[in-house]
Amino acid sequence: MELKLYDTLTKEKRVFTPLDPARVRMYVCGPTVYDFAHIGNARPVIVFDVLYRLLRHLYGEAHVKYVRNITDVDDKINARAAERGVPIRELTEETYKNFKEDVAALGCLPPDVEPRATEHIEEMKILIEKLVASKHAYVAEEHVLFNVPSMKDYGQLSRRPLDEMIAGARVEVAPYKRDPMDFVLWKPSKDGEPGWPSPSGIKSAGRPGWHIECSAMSWKHLGETFDIHGGGVDLVFPHHENEIAQSRCAFHTPVMANYWMHNGFLQVEGEKMSKSLGNFFTIRDLLADWPGEVLRFNMLRSHYRQPIDWTIKGLEESFSTLRSLTDLPEFETGAERIFAPVVLEALGDDLNTPKAIAELHVLYNKGEYAALGSSLRALGFNKRPESKRSVDSKKVESLIATRLDARKAKNWAESDRIREELAAMGVVLKDSKDGTTWEIAR
């Protein structure tokens, strides 16, 4: 089977050809562990979990290495630890544990390696020394900064005009910078912040900038050049652009990764997710009301590169659909985790999960239940979703009886009103010649 992936760097869909088929390598930017991950953070985790499963299917589990980092040194972490009055390590350990539990509930496999930034300081310092020695970085007032003009083709990934890159760089304006675009590789630590012996002859303790962390960890675990680098579209600039600059200039390579993949934005009920709008949801929040399988299915109904509108209606549809697809003995008792050819073909076209889901429906309608169950399990769906809602059964039965009386009296308005009242409680009615049955919607 031919696998095609859209490459953000070349802006085209290309046939995936690994550098070494016996050692397929993928790096994805992971969480900054200072708080519960929100549902937008779940999107790249789920998307690249599906890709990981697909690559393992194509090349063999032993021949794929998936690295997803943990950022455990960061300004947000320092601020949150100070706010809570707890040691930084305690905060990051607790948050990392919560993250692992949440993404496991979403049906995601653990990566082969989950490197922590704080455990790769030496690798970061080696890269920084290489960049300083080759004049791609310089020391100024106890900072080490990357010299952006030293890289003639900087900006190829995001392809932004220079003025937009300067405006959107989100880097500290400082008089010691040689160029407004220069960004920090290393900075001095303030009192109470984590600190390590600094590189490049700097005498005070310091800590790394964000971008150098991923360059160092990907190099350590995947090499100077590897196959796939992934993350959210919000990371294209400046994070991934700066990773490319650091890694290519340190190792003098034409590319850092052969394929750059980015998932689209997520909004909630048509609006950008924001605490001020009251539509900010963590994975943990949603898991309290919805099975993890439903959250995963709902995410995969949209193509990974397209924006996704996260809605209650969409979740309800996902719950109902997934319940139907998994309500089969072949799903409950089956053990195989193999993609049916039609599902595999859909995924091979730039991870087209909406098309793959459509093919699952085709398998269902054709009665090919063994292939359907096997494909669902291969996609990470391990059990039939069960509702997390609870209702007062006696009240439901009473309302159904009242509705039946209304129907007998041909009081259709009252009958419809009661149906809507039950629907608001999460109860779905099914009328048939044998009577009325009900079930919880989710």
Asked if residue 280 belongs to a domain, the reply is: no
Query: Phi, psi at residue 197, to the nearest 5°?
Result: -55, 135
Q: State how far the Cα of 128 lies from the Cα of 217, in Å rounded to an integer.
A: 13
Task: Quote the percentage of the chain above a pLDDT of 70.
Answer: 98
What's the pLDDT score for residue 1?
86
**336 and 414 inside one domain:** no
In a domain, 318, yes or no: yes
Residue 64 belongs to some domain of the structure: yes
Query: What integer is the mean pLDDT of 331-337?
Result: 88
Q: Tell me: pLDDT of 438 over 90.
A: no
Instruction: Looking at the structure, tell me whether residues 98 and 207 fall in a common domain.
Output: yes
Specify burial of residue 330 (Cβ count, 10 A radius: 0-12, 13-18, 19+): middle
Decide if pLDDT at 357 tops 60: yes
Q: 3-class DSSP state for residue 104?
A: helix
Do 302 and 419 belong to one domain?
Answer: no
Report if residue 423 sits inside a domain: yes
CB 95 within 8 A of CB 34: yes
What does the angle CA 30 – CA 75 – CA 255 come to, to the nearest 5 degrees? 45
308-310, strands of its sheet edge to edge: 271-272, 266-268, 308-310
- Which of 21-30, 114-123, 369-378, 422-431 is predicted least confidently? 422-431
Q: How far is C-alpha 398 from the chain's CA centre?
A: 45
- How high is the mean pLDDT of the chain? 94
* Least confident piece of the model among 229-238, 271-280, 334-343, 418-427: 418-427
Residue 384, in any domain of the structure: no
Give the start-end residues of each E strand in 85-205: 137-140, 143-146, 183-188
pLDDT tens-digit readout, 177-230: 999 999 999 999 999 899 999 999 999 999 999 999 999 999 999 999 999 999
Q: Is 371 part of a structural domain of the chain?
A: yes
* Cα gap 139→375, rounded to integer Å: 54
Terminal CA-CA length for the chain: 37
pLDDT at 187 (0 to 100): 96
- Segment 383-390 mean pLDDT: 84
**pLDDT reading at 326 higher than 80:** yes
Structure tokens at 220: 């350590």
Residues 298, 250 share a domain: no
Residue 169 has pLDDT above 60, yes or no: no
Asked if 129 and 223 touch (Cβ cutoff 8 Å), the reply is no
Q: Same domain for 214 and 340?
A: no
**Each residue's pLDDT tens digit, 269-316:** 999 998 888 889 999 999 999 999 999 999 999 999 999 999 999 999
Query: Averaged over 78-94, what is the pLDDT?
Result: 96
CATH classification of the domain holding 138 = 3.40.50.620
Same domain? For 256 and 330 the reply is no
Q: Based on the fold, state whether residues 227 and 141 are members of the same structural domain.
A: yes
Let me know whether 189 and 323 are in one domain: no
Q: Identify the bridge partners of residue 260 per DSSP, sorted by sequence position.
A: 229
How confident is the model over 225-250, as a mean pLDDT? 97
Q: How many domains would you assign to the chain?
A: 3
Let me know if residue 276 belongs to a domain: no
In whole angstroms, what is the distance from residue 396 CA to residue 398 CA? 5
Q: How many residues does the chain have?
A: 442
Backbone angles phi, psi at 100, to 5 degrees: -60, -40
Cα 215 to chain center, whole Å?
Answer: 19
Whether 159 and 214 share a structural domain: yes
Is residue 183 domain-shared with residue 327, that is, in the same domain? Answer: no
Mean pLDDT of 346-373: 97
Domain coverage including residue 26: 4-266
Say whether both 84 and 226 belong to one domain.
yes
Whether 33 and 89 map to the same domain: the answer is: yes
Q: What angle do CA 25, 27, 28 make, to 5 degrees?
A: 145
Would you say 50 and 88 are in contact if contact means Cβ atoms under 8 Å apart? Answer: no
Query: Which residue among 266, 298, 324 closes a domain?
Result: 266
